[in-house]
């Protein structure tokens, strides 16, 4: 399997080094650059150029600050990083708050330009390998479509540039309509799929199925409420008053053909390949379901006992991380998910921590909704729940990896401690090791009472605070296409077809089949998508395109307070461990606005275009509300 060389300068430097050993002191050609003419005469240099374009993927969704914290999945616990600027609605063209490079306007256009350079140059390239040439063109079409998709789903319609600018060109260009952008991306996907079919592709590079998956996502979004302007106007006064709604969606026309197109695109993915364990006729056992879901999250790469490497078949396009490219200890990049988000009692940073609203939406094992008004469920809220909860969330008493012994043998049970517990009957409460009052570390701790588990390698040999993990980020996976197909089928009134495919996912998750129809099925599907795709950069976009953001993204944050009270005659275990025979545990959800005072303002359906971009290009029209 070929390795991807992510650094073009490094690759080119090696080629120059081995090809310039003679001592020609009169040669004034720089040794650290390659001319554009020479690049396209050599197959290796051309491939290195296209490979470098993959860097626009950044760390996938695994930066220290994650998109989940712009949604009702998690909250980012470290202040001063600009996330609260967005979640509190104070963002503006001159105050963008946190912006990740994977959708930042200027960064995306830099990589789009590189795609255009490649597509233009490959048409006249002189290296003698037509199969490679076609493959590189296919990859460039896919990457250009992907980067435009990133701009489209954050900003709405953007200027479409399909050629590399020269110094004599006019750099002022107006935004294209939303529909024009959708059509452009779909054409790139079709071109990529055609050019990549039958080609030998290294893992981590675009494939025909990657292109089909991108097309499916784009057409699903295009059919959604936010981008049907008559619907969006009825739900938002801000959009209704915008004088250029064609930049945000389809201003007229029947939505049904758009849902048909979305359904057809999703079905093309389903027919082209298979996912992982989606051929079951009954639910898995809870333990098997938890292992299956964890195996998917690990991309089949973890060496933890019981996980299945065959789960890699679920990935249709991934961002890979290699020990050849990431050296030293972890810290704020795609190999540092455990350090970035793990418990402070394990010497981690606890960055993006799940909120109570997320935890509450995991169903009971029988498919009923969890409720705090049910006294039995409230007394034991982590019992008998959807197995994906146990693969995704670390809660008080959850089993986890061994702690290091730098603080002593303080937790031989290897359990998460986010509560406070009596050490003697009626005595004071002792703070758990993973709280903000921990005896190990009293900083970098969860505010919510939870930690993220999904995407953190459960291999006990991976010590998150000093060991990098090389788990691939799932940019596209098969189950997203299944969910896309289900959604389109529901909107077309094809309820039996929708349930057939939705139950495939539920059986793999160990959950019972559903038999709903109409809006009840729609709501069940939306919750299923929320749970199945947790922390995968879906919820932020889903809540916006469904236009449910005021009730979801704008909700006040809820956390959990856990206390352990010794039962009569019981003695506290030393060191402490979770024991329901010894303690009565009380769980009290509460609202806390001190970290973020979340609100929703309808301008937040789209990000603002920065003031600098507007100043550089007078033809740009700003998004509504800014």
What integer is the mean pLDDT of 29-44? 78
Q: Which fold has domain 8-278+607-616?
A: 1.25.40
Res. 477: pLDDT tops 60: yes
- Residue 300, by phi and psi: left (phi above 0), alpha (psi -120 to 50) or beta? left
Query: Phi/psi of residue 202, each to 5°?
Result: -70, 150
| pLDDT band at 529; cut points 50, 70, 90 | very high
Q: Which residues pair with 589 in a beta bridge?
A: 560
What integer is the mean pLDDT of 363-385? 98
Other beta carbons within 10 angstroms of residue 575's beta carbon come to 13
Cα distances (Å, whole numbers) of residue 20 to 5, 255, 291, 531: 21, 61, 53, 56
Does residue 316 sit in helix, strand or coil? strand
User: What residues contact residue 283 under an 8 Å CB cut-off, 6+ apart?
Assistant: 289, 506, 507, 509, 510, 511, 512
Domain extents in the chain: 8-278+607-616, 321-471+558-591
- As to burial, measured by CB atoms within 10 angstroms (0-12 exposed, 13-18 middle, 19+ buried), residue 433 is buried
Q: What is the pLDDT of residue 3?
A: 35
Strands 74-76 and 352-354: what pairing? Answer: antiparallel
Sign of the Cα torsion 470, 433, 76, 386 reads: positive
Range with the lowest mean pLDDT among 317-326, 441-450, 504-513? 317-326
Q: What is the pLDDT of residue 208?
A: 98
Q: What is the pLDDT of residue 37?
A: 78
pTM over 0.85? The answer is yes
Percent residues over pLDDT 90 in the chain: 88
Q: What is the pLDDT of residue 32?
A: 58
Burial 496-511 (b: 16+ CB within 10 A, else e): ebbbebbbbbbbbbbb
Tens-digit pLDDT profile for residues 540-572: 999 999 999 999 999 999 999 999 999 999 999
């Amino acid at each position: 399997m070929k390795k991807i060389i992510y650094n073009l300068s490094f690759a080119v430097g090696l080629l120059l080094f081995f090809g310039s050993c003679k001592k020609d002191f009169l040669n004034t050609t720089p040794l650290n650059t390659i001319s554009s003419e020479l690049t396209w005469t050599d197959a290796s240099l051309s491939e290195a150029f296209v490979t470098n374009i993959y860097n626009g993927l950044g760390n996938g969704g695994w930066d220290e600050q994650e998109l989940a914290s712009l949604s009702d999945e998690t909250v980012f616990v470290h202040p001063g990083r600009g996330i609260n600027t967005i979640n509190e609605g104070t963002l503006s063209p001159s105050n963008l708050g946190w912006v990740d490079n994977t959708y930042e306007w200027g960064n995306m256009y830099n990589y789009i330009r590189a795609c255009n350079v490649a597509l233009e140059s490959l048409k006249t390239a002189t290296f003698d390998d037509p199969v490679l040439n076609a493959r590189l063109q296919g990859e460039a079409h896919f990457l250009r479509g992907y980067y435009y998709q990133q701009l489209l789903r954050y900003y709405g319609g953007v200027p479409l540039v399909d050629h590399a600018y020269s110094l004599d060109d006019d750099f002022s260009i107006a935004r294209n309509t939303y529909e024009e952008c959708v059509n452009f991306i779909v054409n790139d996907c079709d071109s990529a799929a055609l050019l990549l079919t039958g080609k030998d592709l290294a893992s981590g590079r675009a494939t025909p199925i990657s292109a089909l998956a991108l097309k499916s996502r784009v057409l699903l979004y295009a059919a959604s409420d936010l981008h049907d302007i008559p619907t969006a106007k009825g739900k938002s006064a801000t959009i209704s008053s915008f004088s250029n709604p064609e930049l945000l969606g389809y201003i007229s026309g029947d939505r049904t053909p758009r849902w048909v197109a979305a359904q057809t695109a999703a079905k093309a993915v389903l027919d082209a390949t298979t996912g992982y364990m989606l051929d079951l006729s009954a639910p898995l056992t809870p333990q098997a379901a938890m292992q299956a879901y964890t195996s998917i999250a690990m991309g089949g790469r973890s060496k933890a006992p019981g996980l299945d490497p065959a789960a890699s078949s679920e990935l249709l396009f991934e961002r890979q991380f290699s020990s050849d490219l990431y050296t030293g200890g972890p810290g704020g990049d795609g190999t540092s998910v455990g350090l970035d988000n793990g418990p402070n009692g394990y010497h981690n940073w606890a960055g993006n921590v799940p909120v109570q609203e997320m935890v509450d939406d995991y169903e009971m094992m029988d498919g009923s909704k969890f409720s705090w008004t049910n006294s039995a469920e409230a007394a034991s809220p982590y019992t008998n729940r959807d197995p994906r909860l146990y693969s995704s969330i670390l809660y008080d008493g959850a089993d986890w990896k061994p702690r290091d012994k730098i603080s002593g043998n303080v937790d031989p049970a290897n359990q998460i401690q986010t509560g406070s517990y009596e050490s003697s009957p009626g005595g004071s409460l002792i703070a758990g090791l993973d709280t903000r009052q921990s005896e190990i570390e009293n900083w970098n701790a969860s505010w919510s009472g939870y930690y993220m588990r999904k995407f953190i390698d459960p291999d006990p040999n991976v010590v998150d605070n000093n060991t990098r993990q090389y788990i691939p980020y799932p940019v596209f996976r098969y189950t997203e296409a299944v969910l896309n197909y289900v959604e389109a089928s529901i909107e077309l009134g094809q309820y039996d077809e929708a349930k057939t495919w939705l139950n495939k996912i539920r059986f793999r998750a160990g959950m019972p089949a559903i038999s709903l129809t109409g809006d009840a099925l729609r709501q069940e599907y939306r919750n299923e998508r929320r749970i199945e795709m947790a922390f995968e950069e879906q919820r932020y976009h889903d809540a916006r395109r469904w236009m449910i953001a005021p009730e979801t993204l704008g909700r006040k944050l809820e956390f959990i307070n856990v206390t352990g009270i010794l039962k009569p005659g019981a003695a506290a275990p030393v060191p402490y461990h979770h024991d329901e025979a010894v303690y009565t545990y009380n769980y009290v959800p509460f609202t806390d606005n001190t970290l973020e005072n979340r609100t929703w303002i309808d301008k937040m359906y789209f990000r603002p275009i920065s003031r600098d971009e507007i100043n550089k290009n007078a033809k740009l029209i700003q998004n509504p509300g800014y």
